Structure 1
Amino acid sequence: MINQVEAQNILQDFLRIESVTPDAKKSFDFLEKLFKKYNFEIHRVKFGSADTIEVENMFAIIGSGGPHLNFAGHVDVVPPGELNSWKHPPFSGHIEDGIIYARGAEDMKGAVIASIVAGINYYERMDSKGTLSYMLTGDEEGVAINGTKPLIKWVNDQGIKINDCIVTEPTNKELIGDNIKIGRRGSLSCDLRIIGKQGHVAYPEKAKNPITHAIKALSKITGQLDEGSEHFLPTNIEITSIDVNNPTHNIIPELVHVSLNVRFNDLWNEISLIEYIKNRLSSALDEAEITFDLRKISVADVYYTGSGKLTDLLQKAIFNKTNIDAKLSTFGGTSDGRFIAKYCPVVEFGLVGRTMHQVDEKIRIDDFFLLTEIYIEFIDNYFNL
């Protein structure tokens, strides 16, 4: 059994490890020792390609037979930013007034440790049945190419069938237990080049100013595209960057470089969105003989798993520990749940998302303990239906 003092010490030690994406080796070294101490089987697998950075991942498993419950998460973190802006060093795990400060405390090292402590304590105290595993990546905060997506495929290719999964994302808005994620909108990022004709500002008739036409064209594609769907918020397009790279005042530039992102619901997909954007741009630019080039940079699929046994058991555990009726929601950004949903039912539940990616990222120690208790209650209910 791991008591609260030991759990807090494990969390602090883990938070002291710098694991800025995708450099997570030391975090996996730490977790391997912890898992092996409690008789988990460990697999450390790497994925990469000629044009991507090789990334390490971990799969830890204990037990046998069904059902098979998995916890999924990431141990990489975003960079801390300006170190002098932090109240305490970002990799110190400093505790003050019941609050622990560290990059990754909230997103999501705190919940990863809570889920591991819960799993260890369940297996230590019970006549356990079924299989419990942990799928952990070092590539979630980065490009997310060599992380959970190939890892879940690797697990499946080994003949290991996961029945249900919880991703330990910081899903709650205000209190532990107020939100469970059962899906996410998709994300499409594109680069756009709007191409005019360069010329002297004194002779605009001899040029074609792409800036003037870009302003008109971008106004036709930005904003809300629909009213939302049954399970998701409206689809929305935002311009994230506009640049003409023009250092002078007397030249009409040839190119406008634009970056944009679409957060889309289940009424859309990559193909329909790109077609929509191209049609809208053409309607604004073709008459002026301004051309454009739209290129996809990345896409994350929308996913929705809905309610069922997994959400029912998790809502029951949350209510028993907090007296809160957890809301099922799909708000927020993308997550690795989209990869897992292709293999098994998946929900997301973790800490409160107050300070993730911010300077002075922090969590309440009591929230960490409460989340651990909820996970234990859930695991107990899951394996003892």
Structure 2
Amino acid sequence: MKKRYTDEQIIGFLKQAAAGTPIKELCRKHGFSDASFYLWRRRFGGMEVPDAKRLRTLEAENARLKKLLAEAMLDNEALKVVARGKFLSPQARRDAVAAVRAKMGISERRICDLLGLSRSVLHYEPRKTDDGVQVRLIELAGERRRFGYRRLHVLLEREGMLVNHKRVHRLYRAAGLAVRRRRKRERVAVERRPLIVPSGPNHTWSMDFVFDALADGKPIKCLTVVDDCTKEAVEIAVGRRINGQGVADILDAVCRFRGYPAAIRTDQGPEFTGRALDQWASANGVKLLLIEAGKPTQNAYVESFNGKFRDECLNETWLTSIDHAKAAISAWRRDYNEARPHSAIGNRTPAEFSAALRQDGSIANRPAGGKLATQDSTK
């Protein structure tokens, strides 16, 4: 509010009164009351005009400092309301703004400046698109419980849903579909032996055993055979017991239709180092590659497959009998070869990748030194 009289005028009135002019006459002449005059004299008595200007400057500076202090204290109290953690996402900052306004009554503009949030972001409402991506994503995650968002994104694209992988990741996290990592046993780090890069299908197979149990607690034994080049699950044989002769019989049955590999990599288990498998390999021109004892990383292709097999099949299926186990594992193997995208071969299925290699014409069914497949079941 603008003052009626300046400080200079007030000091002039006081000087006139000090010179002998009656106060009543000054009040009547200039239009102010006796109370105002005595108030001025108490405040400006004995001052000159420069003193009054200096006093006015000090009062203004004092008022400004008091205002800054009050605002700083208010901001400090506001921050105490939301000082329980960091607010990195826009939604967390929106919630913080609402909490401060509800408790402190601070203006929206001020609390947005305090928390570093734009008012346009505060009032932003995302546009909801009902294109069925989230519904289908949840359905696929229910069917493929051990798949992450990248493989689910590949499956969505296969169904014709052109959606950015970042949106799939956002919907994946919003729906709480993140796959929990199963704890692994700590292992001693060992030096890894370089693996031979396969030149084509049937160049090198990897083989290993995976153990599990049925619902009644009885153990089962699974022989997994993988083609290192095409990533195909050549065979997953299931039984109560599989000895060395059983391994040879299983391989012989598979090779009659697929062809014989040039080499098979295994660990030093008794089934793989016995006479039965050695005689079979020698008779069919197959080289057995044994890794060092206690170093499964040297057989990394099949170890990687075994991890997927256990994570996506054995740990997800309640096996009630040996027949049920054979059927369920056979169905999963077919799905692995024909439907599951594999990141190491460009998110194609092993069957698609193998067909592309064979269609190329430059890669034979079997590298030099081994026998081709035959349909003669009497062999």
Q: Same fold (TM over 0.5)?
A: no
| Larger Cα-atom Rg | 2
TM range (shorter): under 0.3
TM-score (norm 1): 0.21
Q: Determine which structure has the larger strand proportion and give its number.
A: 1
Ranked by relative contact order (alpha carbons within 8 Å, sequence separation 6 or more), the top structure is 1
